[in-house]
Every structure is written in structure tokens, then in C-alpha cells.
Amino acid sequence: QSVLTQPPSVSGAPGQRVTISCTGSSSNIGAGYDVHWYQQVPGTAPKVVFFVKDNRPSGVSDRFSASKSGTSDSLAITGLQAEDEADYYCQSYDNSLSTWVFGGGTKLTVL
């Protein structure tokens, strides 16, 4: 059972907008720790696509954005493209466990 909760799967048609939620608690997201998002294509290492409050690594499309509300965070992907199909993970820090924590992952399918 992951400390951060994500939906197992989401899907959308090309061009659409999808969101992936990440729900935590008062000891991680609710405590003010930043949430970071990773994209993982099967067989490869995770790659960060959004970090801290409003940052995308060089080379990551501005179609990716994130927003936070209380103990939850959400990754939004607009203008969905086939290349976006992957697993997505959220990550934060938990001060009661004193560890970095991940969500269970969400499989994005582009229809």
C-alpha cells in the first residue's frame, strides 16, 4: 500500500486533457512538502516531468503542469499525444516516516 494514492489508470483520446491525482496526508503533501511527477516508459528508468511548484526539466513539453490543493496534487497533460502513453508516479517527502514516498503509479493510455 503506497503512502500516496493514485488512480491505477486513466485514458484519453489524442488532443484531450487528462489529469492524474495524487492524494497524501498531513505528514507529506499536507505538511507543505513539494510533489514531483515522473514519467516511466516500460523498461526504462523514471524521468521527472514536473518538480517543485512550477518547474519542468529542459525538454519536457509545456503540455505538462501540476497543481496542489490541501493534501492532494494533480498532474495535467493537455493536447494528449501518443508519446505520452506511459506510467506516471508522484513523489514527496513524509516527515512522520522520514522517508521519500511514492504513489502507486497511474497507467496513462492514449486511445
Partner 1 sequence: QVQLQESGPGLVQPSQTLSLTCTVSGDSISSGGYYWSWIRQHPEKGLEWIGYIYYSGSTYYSPSLKSRVTISVDTSKTQFSLKLSSVTAADTAVYYCAHTRGLGSHFDYWGRGALVTVSS
Contact by Cβ (8 Å): 20, 74 = yes
Does 68 help bind partner 1 (rule: CB under 8 A)? no
Distance (Å) of CA 26 to CA 23, 49, 66:
10, 24, 19
Residue 81 vs 99, nearer CB to partner 1: 99
Residues in the chain: 111
| φ/ψ (deg, to 5) at 84 | -80, -10
Q: Can you tell me which of 7, 21, 33, 56 binds partner 1, judged by CB under 8 A?
A: 33
Residue 12 vs 104, nearer CB to partner 1: 104
**Residues in contact with partner 1 by the rule CB under 8 A:** 2, 33-34, 36, 38, 44-48, 51-52, 57, 89, 91, 93, 97-105
